[in-house]
Structure 1
Amino acid sequence: MLNDPRSHGLWEKTAPQPPVTEPLSGAMSADVVIVGGGYTGLSSALHLAEAGTRVVLLEGNEIGFGGAGRNVGLINAGMWVMPDDVPGVLGPVYGERLLDILGNGPQLVMALIDKHQIACELERNGTLHCAVGAEGFKEIEARCSQWASRGAPVSVLDAEETRRRVGSAGYSGSLLDLRAGTLQPLAYARGLAHAAIRAGATLHTGSRVTDTSRDGSRWVVKTAGGSVTADWIIVSTDAYSTGPWQQVRGEQVHLPYFNFATVPLGDNLCKSILPAREGVWDTKEVLSSFRMDQAGRLVFGSVGALRNTGAAIHKGWARRSLKRLFPQLGDVEFECEWYGKIGMTDDALPRFHKFADNVVGFSGYNGRGIAPGTTFGKSLAAHILGEIGESDLPLPTSAVGAPRFRAAKEMWYEAGAQIAHLAESRF
């Protein structure tokens, strides 16, 4: 997007076309104006429009421009935080409520894909959280036990079963989560956009919000080309927030994450590497992730930015790591490369903010945007429609914070990933 092949890589190359949209021009009126065309905004628009609400969505760039169009494509249940730790942070009511709604999040995503016939390469065979060494195995055992106590269909696989499913002997075991799966993330975002428009929502791209003001009891949301007057504003810009909601970006530490996609692999390799097409990530501190796309490309990623010295360092690391994990690959060619930003909060949990009367939004997905974004978008729609109160939302209201040493942490994440990848696989 924006003539940058490293912004969306393989996903832009293989996704169906987005709906035809134009920048906002002139003055409009609506019940709800949504700012941001990612999963949260699009899910909100779809669910509100289906209920007969007049919705206008404003996206500063293109549909799926932010994390929605750049991520790995794992439809995970829950967050990074261990399940038993969530009630300790949020309290027992919100903690268990969040675990329940996000545990069922992948089911909502898949139901929407089925209902609206979204072509996004959906795979329903679960994910594998692969353990590295003895400590990694202890981690997945604990995570499995905590989810299983809540009725989740999870199980720990030993090293041999993991090797059979992954095609690599590099792991001591894995946690299989049958709630989860994979999809083509940009295709899913574009599919939600098509569905929202069919339901009656109006979408404008190239329409960055510059200002907001009040007109009596209503809000006026302004762009360079026009304005929308509405009763409600949903802020769904998350890690890519600018303008009036720059503060949302300011409360997050950006963690860069990249992906490389190989050329399509032959049939024999596809039968030996992830034959059931699960999505994978590991327990290392500087984690790795990988999955197959529908054409048999292996998508392999980790922490880091593909810019300056990082581009060559991370590509070299990816080649060495793939050769170590999958000797059967040999020397592999990369067809695409891209990276984006993950917005990390100080407790690795998302936020619900009430910026003003009738101005609300969720943010801080910490690398888990697909299911939470879709789920939270539906929750916002239900709240605006009067179906649930503010106290019934998945998260309590919190003030917008500012993490200490944010800029220094971001510099360290980018530099530290380069250091780690330079050292790994060389010794």
Structure 2
Amino acid sequence: MLNDPRSHGLWEKTAPEAPTTSPLDGAISADVVIVGGGYTGLSSALHLAEAGSKVVLLEAKEIGFGGAGRNVGLINAGMWVMPNDLPSVLGPVHGERLLDLLGNAPKLVMELIDKHQIACELERNGTLHCAVGADGLKEIEDRAAQWSARGAAVTLLDAAETAKRIGSDAYTGSLLDKRAGTLQPLAYARGLAHAAVKAGVAIHTSSPVIATERNGSRWTVKTASGEVSAEWIIVATDAYSTGPWEQVRSEQVHLPYFNFATVPLGHNLRQSILPGREGAWDTKEILSSFRMDQAGRLVFGSVGALRNTGLAVHKGWAKRALKRLFPIIGDVEFECEWYGQIGMTDNALPRFHKFAPNVVGFSGYNGRGIAPGTVFGRTLAEHILGRIGEADLPLPLTALSEPSFRALKEIWYEAGAQVAHFADARF
């Protein structure tokens, strides 16, 4: 996007076209104005419009420009935090409420894809959280026990079954989450946009918000060439926030994450590597993720940014790591390369913010954007429609705050990933 081949890579190359949009021009009125064209904003817009609300969505750049169009494409349930830890962090009411909502979030994603016939390469075969060593195995055993106690459809697999499903004997076991799956993330975002437009939403891209103004019971949201008057504002900008809600970006530490996509693999390799098409990632601190797309490309990623010296370092590591993980693959060639930023909060959990009267938003998805973004978008719609009160939301109201040493942490994450990948598997 915006003439940058490393922003969205394979996903931009293979996604269906987005709906035709244009910048906001002139003054218009709506019930709700949504700022941000990712999963949260698009899901909110779709659910509000289907309920009869007049909705305008403003996107600073293009649909899916932020994390929605750059991520791995894993439809995960829950967050990185262990299930039993959520009630201790959020309290028993919000903790269990959030676990229930996010545990069922992949189901909503798949229902929307089916309902609106979104062509986004959906695979419903689950995900595999792969254990590295004894410590990794203990981690997934604990996670499996905690989810199973809540009735989740998860299964702990031994090393032999994991090797059969992955095509590699590198792991001591894995956690199969049958609630989850994979999709083409930019195609999903664009599909939601098409569905929203069909439901009556007015989407304006290349329309960054520059200011807001309160006029009685309504808000005026201004861009360079127009303005929208509405009773409610949904802030759905998350890790790529700029302008009036730049504080949302400032309360998150950016963690860079890259992906490489191989050329389509031959038939024999596709029958050996992830034959069930599950998405996978491992338990390493600097983790790796891998999954297949519909054409048989192996998408392989990890922490790091593909800029400056990082491009050569991470590409060299990816080729070595893939050959070590899948010896039968040989020397691979990459067809696409891209990266983005994951917004990490200080407790690895999302936030609910009330920026002003009738100005609300969820943010801080910590690398779990697809299912949480979709279900939080629906939740915001239900809140505005009066179906869910503020006291009944899945997260408590949180004040905006910037983490200590944010800028230094971001430099460290990018540099540290380069150091780790330069040294890993070189000998």
Per-residue CA deviations over 1:317-366 (Å, capped at 9, x if unaligned) read 00000000001111110000000000000000000000000000000000
Partner of 1:416: 416
Letter in 1 for 2:127: T
The whole-number CA distance in structure 1 between the counterparts of 2:426 and 2:85 is 36
Q: Offset of 1:385 from its aligned partner?
A: 0.3
Structure-1 residue corresponding to 2:101: 101
How many residues align? The count is 427
| Whole-Å separation in 2 of the counterparts to 1:164 and 1:18 | 38
Q: CA deviation at 1:202?
A: 0.6
Q: What CA distance in whole angstroms lies between the structure 2 residues aligned with 1:280 and 1:410?
A: 25
What amino acid is aligned across from residue 367 of structure 2 in structure 1? Answer: G
Amino acid in the other structure paired with 2:390:
E
Q: Which segments of structure 1 move beyond 2 Å, counting only runs of 4 or more? A: none
Residue 379, structure 1, aligned to residue 401, structure 2 = no
| Residues 48-197 of structure 1 aligned to structure 2 (within 5 Å) | 48-197=48-197
Tell me, in whole angstroms, the C-alpha distance in 1 between the residues paired with 2:62 and 2:225.
Answer: 16
Provide the rounded CA distance (Å) in 1 between the counterparts of 2:377 and 2:190.
15
Match of residue 316 from structure 1: 316
Structure 2 distance, partners of 1:402, 1:263, is: 41
> How many Å apart are 1:130 and its aligned residue?
0.1
> What is the identity, as a one-letter code, of the residue corresponding to 2:159?
A
What secondary structure is seen at the aligned counterpart in 2 of 1:137?
A: helix
Structure-2 separation of matches of 1:168 and 1:244: 48
> TM-score, normalised to structure 2's length?
1.00
SS in 2 for 1:175: strand
Query: What do the CA deviations read for 1:96-151 (whole angstroms, capped 9, x no partner)?
Result: 00000000000000000000000000000000000000000000000000000000
CA distance in 1, matches of 2:14, 2:83: 35
Listed one character per residue, the Cα deviations across residues 34-73 of structure 1 (whole Å, up to 9, x for unaligned) are 0000000000000000001000000000000000000000
What is the match of residue 215 of structure 1?
A: 215
* Alignment partners' CA distance in 2, 1:182 and 1:394: 25
Amino acid at match of 2:358: N
CA RMSD of aligned residues (A): 0.4
CA distance, structure 2, for counterparts of residue 297 and residue 388 of structure 1:
42
Aligned residue in 2 for 1:32: 32
Tell me, in whole angstroms, the C-alpha distance in 2 between the residues paired with 1:198 and 1:162.
43
Deviation at 1:23, TM superposition (A): 0.2
The residue type paired with residue 46 of structure 1 is L
2:387 partner SS: coil
2:392 is the counterpart of 1:392:
yes
Structure 1 residue 197 displacement after superposition: 0.5
Letter matched to residue 264 of structure 1: P
TM-score of the superposition, structure 1-length normalised? 1.00
Residue segments in structure 2 that go unaligned for 5+ positions in a row: none
Task: Give the corresponding residue for 2:353.
Answer: 353
Look up the equivalent residue of 1:89 and give its one-letter code.
V
Unmatched runs of 5 consecutive residues or more in structure 1: none
Supply the distance in 2 between the matched residues of 1:13 and 1:294 (Cα, whole angstroms): 13
Deviations for 1:161-188, whole angstroms, at most 9, x for unmatched residues? 0000000111111000000000000000
SS at match of 1:83: coil
Q: Map of 1:185-264 to 2, 5 A cutoff?
A: 185-264=185-264
The share of aligned pairs that are identical, in percent, is 79
How far did 1:394 drift? Answer: 1.0
